[in-house]
Every structure is written in C-alpha cells, then in structure tokens.
Amino acid sequence: MSKTTREITHSVPRRGIITIAAVMGAGLQGMDTMLAAVALPHIRGSLSLTFEEASWILTSYLIAVAIATPPVSWLGRKFGRKRLFLIVIGGFIVCSMLAGGADGINEMVAYRFTQGVFGAALVPLSMHILLDIFPREEHGIAISWWSFGVMFSAICGPTLGGILTEFLSWRWNFYVNIPIATLAMLLIFIFVPESNDNEKRPFDWFGFILLTICLGATQLMLDRGNKLDWFQSPEILLELSAACLALYLFIVHIMTSKEPFVEPAIFKNRNLVLGLCLTTMHGVTLVGLTGLIPSFLNRLMDVPVLTIGLILAPRGIATALASTTAGRLMIRFNPKWICAFGMSLMSLSLWMMAGFTPETATWHFISAIIIQGFGFGLFFVSGNSMTFATLPAEHRAEATAFMSLMRKIGSSVGVSVLVGMLARNTQRNHEILGANISQMNEIFRHKQLPDSWSLTNVQGMAALDKEVTRQAEFIAYLFDFRVLGIVILLMMPLILLFRSTERSPNKKSGTK
C-alpha cells in the first residue's frame, strides 16, 4: 500500500496552510456556478443572446463537470494529486480569463465547457487531500473545513455575483476567480506533499465512454426537459433511452471486467451508499433553493437584486459558523444526532418559507434563511463525516469523486424538477383563481377594486390578470418550498442506518 493510502498516525507539517489551500480550491467550483447564474441575464443582454443560447452557458459547464468528475480518482493516482491539482487550477484560471473576455456565444460556450473540465477535479481532490493529512479520528475537523469552502462559496456566490454585476460588470463574475485560484495554486505548490500511488491499472476507456454517455444524456435531458415538455418530446425520449442503456451496460461492465473504471467493492460499504443518497438530496435542496429564492424575492416581493444579495448573506455566515463548529461538536456528540438536528433545521426553515405572504416582513425571511444556513452546515459536515467513517483509505479517491458527481446530479435534478413544478403549478393555480373572477361573483359586486382593475375594459382586465398570475406563481413557489421540506423529512430515517466507528474519548482534535 502506498504512503497516501495508509492511515495518518503523525502530524503533517504545515497542515493548517494546506487546509486553507484545499478549502479555497474546493470553493472555486461551487462559487463559479452561482456567479455565472447570477450574471446570465446581463450576459444575454450584452451579447444579444436568445434564452436558448444563454442557457448553454450554464449547461455546457454542468455537462463538462459531470463528464470530467469520474476520471479524477484515476488521474490523481496516475499523475499524483498535487500535480493534478496544480494543472486543473491553472486551467481554471486561464478559462476564467477567456470566459470573462468572450464576445460571442460560441467562444463563451467553449470556454465554459473547458472551465468545467478543469473545475470538476477541484472538489474531490481537495476533499481527498484533507482526508489524507488528518488522522481518521480527526476527519470530522477536516470535513468541517472542507464543507466551509464548498457551502460558503456556493451560498455566498449569488451575493457576490449581484454586487459585482451591479457595480462593475458581468465579466467580473469570471475575473474574480483569478486572484483566489492563484493564491490557492501558490499554497498548493509550496506546501502540499505529492502522493506516491504510482497507478499501474490501465484506464478503462470502454467504461468511461459508457458513463460519459449516461451522464451527458442525463444532463441534457434535465436541462432541456422543461423547455421541450419532457416526455412529449422525441429528443427527451432519445436522451432518456441513451442514458438508461449506457447505465445498464456500465453496471454490467464494471461487474464483469477485471480492471473496471470504478471498483464495485466501494458500493459494498453501507455508509458510502447512504452518504451518496444524502449528498444527492443535498444537491437538490441547496441548488434548488439558490435558484428559487432570488427570483421569488425579485419577481414576487419586489426586492432589488442588490438587496437580495444582502438578505441572503446571513445564510452564508450561518453556514460557515455551523460548518466550522460541527467538527468540534462531533467529538462530544454522536454525528447521527447532529445530522438529524441539521436536517430538522433545514425542514423547519422550509416550513416557515412555505407560509410566507406578500406582506411577510423582511426580518422574518432573514430568520428563516439563518436557520436554513445553520441546518445546511451541520448536516453537510456530519453527513460527510459518517460517509467516510468506515471507508478504507484506498477507496477514498473513487468515493470523493462519486460524492462530487452525485451532488452535481442532485443539483441538476433539483433545478429541473422544481422549475418544472413551478411552471405547471403556476398554470394550474391561474386556472383555479381565474375561474372565480366574474361579474357574477358577489365578492366583486360589493368589494371596491383598485382603480387599475376592471371587469369591463381591456386594460383593467389585463391588469387584473397580471395580479392573478402573480398570486398563482406565489402559491407555486410556496408549494416548491413545502415539497423540499417534506423530502428532507422523508430522508431522515436513513441516518439511523449509518454504522458508527469507535472514537477515543481522550483524543484531542484541531488544525495544526
């Protein structure tokens, strides 16, 4: 067994600096996704793009991340994790500069796809490095700091993106990556030790191609399903068929091949399988809410974009506090209880949001956001810690890659399903509300209507229909929040199935 796959039993020099570098690297991928999403309307206007063209700026990046994530474990063993980390950060910097200076849709999509290829490795590599430099009994501390980078950057991305877009330009949503990535690159080059796995196993190209077809077709189906009315479209049916067939062949291949692309033995670990399920749910919830909340506040509660960023900032702060303290809490308390408490807070915040009205005070929304942030931080750290608690060190590379992959798949599923439900429920609610608007309705006969509304002229009817649409959409948003809260509650029993490891009560943890 190589040095990097042994359990750490001694202190690693400069562990604190290595932790900072890994945390910065982990945060780049999530932050870039959110920054681009915030800047998308301005990019569309600046480059004169259609909605379909603009959507490919996000879709190309997500497809690239999905495709490039699975090979990270093999590449890290083949070339060394430090060397690979430096390569992908360097490529990420170059692509950020090119995307920020793009003047057309073709080059923008090409740069974003390439940026996704490089960015895919950032999250799994950073997690693997931290798990390597911390002993198993301190993995809670390692994951808490790693979670701080992933969660804080993803949640604060919309806030930072709004500020940059408002006061500078949408191009700065890409340029801002450069100083952060450069500093992380320097710290990694100077302080991170190189791994010595010396991978001898050949690359399984057939397995990789099958998984690539499955992931690419799935991502396209999820991104284009709402636009094409899902299974009424031949394209969506073709993509679904391709994804299912490729997945079936991939499973058969890895179960029968002598040197498969993915080692099937890792899926025999119960904690890892449960962790992948919770990670998928986390991707659905986090990215789904990040997409829903800004539009909910802006479109339906008339909150300016910059103010939305300030309102969402406390969630990032709460997540950071919870993430950095969760590792310490796990020394004293069972991670299962911390995870359950975190999920309960997440569900509570969504229950509060499902009861909002157009007259809800801002402080009430902020309180729900803060509770949500604490819940995300506690859940993410404790859940990841339990996932790796019983996993052998030699399987960490593949496990961290699949954790990152399932989080991205969950994100795509969450956005597609929630947006689809929002559109359909808005239409249904409009039909129900509109059916009650008539001169025969006694309420309209005896109630004084606003001056702009009328049941007798075209302008008044148009204004009244606009209000009906607004209220129908408002109710649809509340339904999405309620569904997410219920999904979290239904996933909570999985926590009881995690296996625990013995912890030494005399061990003291901390980042040196």
Distance from C-alpha of 322 to C-alpha of 147, rounded to nearest angstrom? 10
pLDDT mean over 14-25 = 82
Residue 296 and residue 312 in contact, taking contact as beta carbons nearer than 8 Å: no
| pLDDT at position 2 over 60 | no
What is the per-residue pLDDT for 121? 85
pLDDT of residue 154: 67
Cα gap 92→97, rounded to integer Å: 9
What's the CA gap between 115 and 89, in Å, rounded?
Answer: 10
Residue 512: pLDDT band by 50, 70, 90 thresholds?
very low
- The pLDDT of residue 486: 92
In CATH, the number for domain 3-203+261-425+475-497 is 1.20.1250.20
Please tell me which residue, 336 or 258, carries the higher pLDDT value: 336
Q: Calculate the alpha carbon distances from 236 to 231, 242, 338, 408, 422 in Å.
A: 6, 10, 40, 20, 20
Model pLDDT for residues 415-429, shown as the tens digit of each residue: 778 877 888 888 888
In tens, the pLDDT along 41-100 reads 778 778 777 766 777 777 778 778 878 888 888 888 788 888 888 999 999 999 989 988
Q: What is the pTM of this model?
A: 0.74
Q: Which residue has the tokens 């948003």?
A: 477
Q: What average pLDDT does the segment 230-248 reach?
A: 87
**Between these two residues, 341 and 380, which has the higher pLDDT value?**
341
What is the model's pLDDT at position 3? 42
Report how far residue 381's alpha carbon sits from residue 400's, in angstroms, rounded to the nearest whole number. Answer: 14
